[in-house]
Amino acid sequence: MNATTSVTVRVPAKVNLQLAVGPARGDGYHGLVNVFHAVSLFDEVTVSARTDLPPGQAVLSADGERPDHLARVPLDEGNLAARAAALLARHTPRATGVHIHLRKAIPVAGGMAGGSADAAAALVACDALWDSGVPREQLLELAADLGSDVPFPLLGHTAVGTGRGELLTPLPTPGTFHWVFALAEGGLSTAAVFAEYDRLRPDAPEPRLDHDLAAALAAGDPRRLGTALTNDLQPAALSLRPGLASVLDAGRAAGALGAVVSGSGPTCAFLAGSAEHARGLAAALRGLDECADTVTAHGPVPGATVL
Ligand code: ATP
């Protein structure tokens, strides 16, 4: 008999090193070339068996250091981690009900895919709790069914996503990159940012992987990487939150090797030359009106891991 009653999985946030967005497709999604990079800013997801609940049904709780962020995390079946447990339960006869506890450190609605990371972690945790026997390839497919950003946190490190971002190819990257993230007050809705993108760029070309970026990653060269960071959603995020421009400018003025809005924002990402340089950049950003907080992190780091 399997005596496991509780499993904790640690899962990283992502920053997009390139986010190239094509025209809206017939199915409503945009074609993307999305270079994901996993950074050392982690949520922890603990699932515990609740045999008094139907298989796959979840009750949720959450804690974390930022009450304003926690207040935006749904604790019902709308939580992506609950949806992940329900989906995996349909593929294993050994499923139970679960209690899911989220320890949130990834900013909520911050463009760092925290909800997707929690969904990936819940898949891995429930897979271990239930000893589901679902093959890895199928876990990745279930992840893609949950959302375009859910497969990547299963892999971690650095990878390029094509299609709607869910078809992943790892990009081996030697060395470590040091980052500062400037968190903003309040979140930005991903759907609203894409809608603004469509308004600003009705003529978007087909997205392509940037060769300078790929070369910078292959060489592990932070200076080259800093100048190659791009995000097609950045003008849309800045249009909705104009104050972010001054955060990006301040980071550049303080010597960041690169500055870019992360995903759909409003978090801004800054590349530093070393851990010490990152701490200095964070100190320079902290006083800004538009910067609610800063965190430093490094990447790449592995994907969802059972603790
Ligand atoms: P992305 O970059 O993938 O668009 P994001 O980082 O901007 O996402 P998330 O933190 O994933 O944003 O949250 C977006 C919304 O998803 C939240 O406002 C919240 O309502 C909902 N949500 C569902 N599940 C979760 C979860 N486990 N953690 C955080 N938010 C969640």
Give residue-wise pLDDT tens across range 242-298: 999 999 999 999 999 999 999 999 999 999 999 999 999 999 999 899 999 999 999
pLDDT of 299 > 90? The answer is: yes
Q: In terms of residue numbers, what domain contains 166?
A: 6-170
Give the Å distance between the CA of 190 and the centre of ligand 1: 9
> How do beta strands 97-104 and 58-64 pair?
parallel
Give the Å distance between the CA of 37 and the centre of ligand 1: 18
How many structural domains compose the chain?
2
Q: Are 197 and 293 members of one domain?
A: yes
pLDDT per residue over 215-225, tens digit each?
A: 999 999 999 99
Residues in Cβ contact with 148 at an 8 Å cutoff, skipping those fewer than 6 apart: 29, 32, 161, 163, 164, 165, 166
Q: Are 142 and 278 members of one domain?
A: no
pLDDT of 191 > 70? The answer is: yes
Q: Say what the ipTM of the complex is.
A: 0.94
pLDDT at 29: 86
Q: Are 14 and 116 members of one domain?
A: yes
Q: Are 166 and 210 members of one domain?
A: no
Q: Are 191 and 162 members of one domain?
A: no
pLDDT grade for 26, boundaries at 50, 70 and 90:
confident
CATH code: domain of residue 201: 3.30.70.890
Mean pLDDT of 90-104: 97
Q: Are 52 and 199 members of one domain?
A: no
- Binding-site residues for ATP: 107-117
Q: Are 128 and 158 members of one domain?
A: yes
Ligand 1 atom having least distance to the Cα of 119: 27
Q: Are 288 and 258 members of one domain?
A: yes
- The domain boundary, picked from 170, 199, 229, lies at 170
Q: Are 237 and 104 members of one domain?
A: no
Closest Cα partner for 269 from 301, 303, 226, 235? 226
Known active-site residue 203: no
Known active-site residue 149: yes
- The domain boundary, picked from 115, 150, 170, lies at 170
CATH code: domain of residue 88: 3.30.230.10
From the list 43, 118, 149, 232, the catalytic residue is 149
Ligand 1 — pocket residues by CB below 6 A?
72-74, 79-81, 102, 108-116, 118, 149, 187, 190, 263-264
Q: Using CA atoms, how far apart are residues 139 and 225, in angstroms rounded to an integer?
A: 32
